[in-house]
Amino acid sequence: MEIASVTISCPALFSTPRVCRSKPFALNFNTDHRKRFSCQVVDSELDLEYKKHDLLRAVQETQRGLTATSDQRSVIEEALVTVEGFNGGEAIDLMKLDGTWRLQYTSAPDVVVLFEAASRFPFFQVGQIFQKFECRDRSDGGIIRNVVQWSLPSLLEEQEGATLVVTAKFDKVSSRNIYLQFEEISVRNININEQVQSLLAPAILPRSFLNLQILQFIRTFNAQIPVTPTSPGRRSVGGLYYLSYLDNNMLLGRSVGGGGVFVFTKSQPLQL
């Protein structure tokens, strides 16, 4: 007697295909029950992957939020809420949160203003934006670094001419909320373009020690501005951040108090 089988594959965008096989005639009730439960789990995971794909497709044409219309924002919010519902009752796993996340979309005014400036001024570019969490061996908090790659194309390399890093300490205040206390703003990883390098140290002439020192100084330049309070008893600048969804490849967040929503996908480790 042949055994019928059904193959269910999840979208390749997020995970490897899963296969669920069911027999038309089970040997006993327990075996049949386990197989039905297994198929239900696969169906749920498959549905989640489709909903995540729908969300990423909704934000795709918005230039990370810069050009989002009111209709697009409504569609995105609906897709966000749908994905958030899949693990809304689970506490945030800091081990899973640890790592680098690339921004795909935001409605946060303090980030969108950077995109607006880049679209308005041709001498300014905004490259990739990341959130880097350092909390692998912690259960109560860690460090978060907001990383913005930017450039002045007439002086620096395209997109990744320099890096702005805003560092904050965060504490886990509930199962989903973390409180950020900003500590430092720094500018680092300055990469001047070839034209400027040629002006500072022409390739056709012997490069003097001073020329090389200037180039080395620029490449290793790291300006740091602390934002911690100078007066005792005063709390540093901070804010509440609600992590509304987290899995191995997607992070959704909401800045509490109307500060906007964020859609991130997992990225390769970022070296700073």
DSSP 201-230: S-TTSPPPHHHHHHHHHHHT--EEEE-S-S
One-letter identity of residue 157: E
pTM across the whole model: 0.76
The pLDDT score that the predictor gives to residue 68 is 97
The pLDDT score that the predictor gives to residue 243 is 96
The pLDDT score that the predictor gives to residue 19 is 45
One-letter identity of residue 84: E
Round to whole Å and give the CA distance between 261 and 251.
Answer: 11
Task: Give yes or no for residue 252 having a pLDDT over 80.
Answer: yes
Kindly report which listed range (40-49, 98-107, 110-119, 165-174) carries the lowest average pLDDT score.
40-49
The pLDDT score that the predictor gives to residue 83 is 96
pLDDT level of residue 162 (50, 70, 90 thresholds): confident
Overall average pLDDT of the 154-171 stretch: 86
Task: Give yes or no for residue 140 having a pLDDT over 60.
Answer: yes
- Cα torsion for 200, 205, 207, 210, to the nearest 10°? -50
Check residues 133 and 8 and name the one with the higher pLDDT.
Answer: 133
Task: Give yes or no for residue 159 having a pLDDT over 80.
Answer: no
Overall average pLDDT of the 176-196 stretch: 84
Overall average pLDDT of the 99-121 stretch: 95
- Residue pLDDT, tens place only, 6-31: 343 444 444 444 444 444 434 454 55
Task: Give yes or no for residue 264 having a pLDDT over 90.
Answer: yes
Q: In the chain, what is the straight-line distance between the N-terminal and C-terminal CA atoms, in Å?
A: 62
